[in-house]
Amino acid sequence: MTTIYLKPHKEESLKRFHPWVFSGAISRVVLDASHKASAPEEGEMVVVRSSANEVLGVGHWQVGSIAVRILAFGVERLEKTFWRERIAAAYRVRESIGLIRPDNNTFRLIHGEGDFLPGLIVDVYADTAVVQAHSVGMHVCRMEIAEAIIAEVEQVKAVYYKSDDTLPFKAPIEGEKTGWLINDQMVNDQMVNAQMANDEYWSEENGLSFRIDWLRGQKTGFFIDQRENRALVERYAKGKDVLNMFCYTGGFSLYALRGEARTVDSVDVSQKAIDLVNINVAHNFPDDPRHHAYAADAFDFLSEQREKGSTYDLIILDPPAFAKHRDAVKNALRGYQRINAKAIEMIRPGGILFTFSCSQAVDKEAFRLAVFSAAAQVGRKVRILHQLHQPQDHPINIYHPEGEYLKGLVLYVE
């Protein structure tokens, strides 16, 4: 195997189990004999050693400022049982915290660094696992990963791979980035489409049924990361007029309806998302006159409602990541301030705002400051009731605080 030697003292973060080797920490690369090129191949498994030749771990080579993502510390190669053991360990966590139940078969099984598998995401929807690779190394290992999931997670019968949007853009990739990896039941796209059309395919979250379209949907098909925050909306919804802005497939709306909201308006710019919201609401709350869905831009919708003099008791704002990179943070903060100011203006006295940011590059303090600026701009008296974050199946590796991305505030607006 190719060996990566670090500069003196650069082994310290790896010894504290931080899973990344930055390119600046490398003193030299000794390629194994099979190489024709002058550098390791992206996705190749490499050994990392300190300047004193101590073995630090093995991981996937990457092109960019993060040069290696470590899979196992203190060893020179992965055991044959590596993937099964890691998947089984992750599954045990979800089981022990009570996420796997007949009324909840939707959960994140692998959350990258948070489950000690940097570059890998696995979401489970009933009998299907959706795998997403964020590194070429994980792409190379996708079949072993799929087989380990089938072997270790009883409910999963088919594994779908969806890495079109997540693999590094310029990397040379062999094989398909999207498609079925395993489907023992001979599932294929047509069958899934037919099942969905026949109203057969549902995934359960806390006793609510969701149609999850991983073939065409955003990310792996659903935003599991808002499960606990949706449950909190249910607690506050009773008797309220609710606006679920950036609703996607209507997660927060279903919980608000179950929590006896008076009315629920769901808004998303994507017509496909709105179609799914309507399917989900009709399945869980047939012929319920309390719900309306609108395919519209958030800013336009809020401006129009304001002109009409509409107000709400409870608003949820869960926009897409406004900052995808560090250099976009300033603009993102302006965006958060703008949308929050518009929402706060429309909340009735004594109402509640659930507001979120899923931009990893925008930290808690910066987000809170943007929301504070919005409240001050509108001149309303605002108190923080809850500070929210990502749920327990999206764990943060304590040695890798960069894994924290979702944050939210629940505000009481006088």
- Rounded distance, CA 332 to CA 330, Å? 5
Contact region for ligand SAH (CB under 6 A) — 103-111, 130-138, 312-320, 342-350?
Answer: 312-320
CB of 277 to ligand SAH, least distance (A): 9
**Residue 297 near ligand SAH by CB under 6 A:** yes
Residue closer to ligand SAH, measured from CB, 142 or 230:
230
- Rounded distance, CA 144 to CA 240, Å? 49
CB of 407 to ligand SAH, least distance (A): 14
The one catalytic residue in 358, 361, 370, 411 is 358
Of 105, 166, 226, 390, which lies in the binding site for ligand SAH, with binding defined by CB under 6 A?
A: 226
**Residue 298 near ligand SAH by CB under 6 A:** yes
Residues 241-270 close enough to bind ligand SAH by CB under 6 A: 246-249, 251-252, 268-270
356: tokens are 């979120």
**Residue 165 near ligand SAH by CB under 6 A:** no
**Residue 160 near ligand SAH by CB under 6 A:** no
Characterize 284-301 residue by residue with b for buried, 16 or more Cβ atoms within 10 angstroms of its Cβ, and e for exposed: bbeeeebbebbbbebeeb
Contact region for ligand SAH (CB under 6 A) — 12-20, 30-38, 145-153, 314-322?
Answer: 314-322
Report how many residues bind ligand SAH under the rule CB under 6 A: 18
Kindly tell me the burial class for residue 368, based on how many C-beta atoms sit within 10 Å of its own C-beta (0-12, 13-18, 19 or more). Answer: middle
CB of 223 to ligand SAH, least distance (A): 4
Of 273, 344, 361, 371, which lies in the binding site for ligand SAH, with binding defined by CB under 6 A?
A: 273
* H-assigned helices in 27-140: 82-96, 136-140
Is the CB of residue 184 less than 8 Å from the CB of residue 146?
no
* H-assigned helices in 128-188: 136-140, 142-152
Contact region for ligand SAH (CB under 6 A) — 18-26, 157-165, 313-321, 322-330?
Answer: 313-321
Tell me which residue has tokens 């903060």. 333
Measured CA to CA in angstroms, residue 215 lies from 102, 114, 173 at distances of 24, 26, 21
Known catalytic residue at 141: no
307: tokens are 């002109």
Residues annotated as catalytic (active site), given as ranges: 358
Interacting residue ranges for ligand SAH, rule: CB under 6 A: 218, 223, 226, 246-249, 251-252, 268-270, 273, 297-298, 318-320
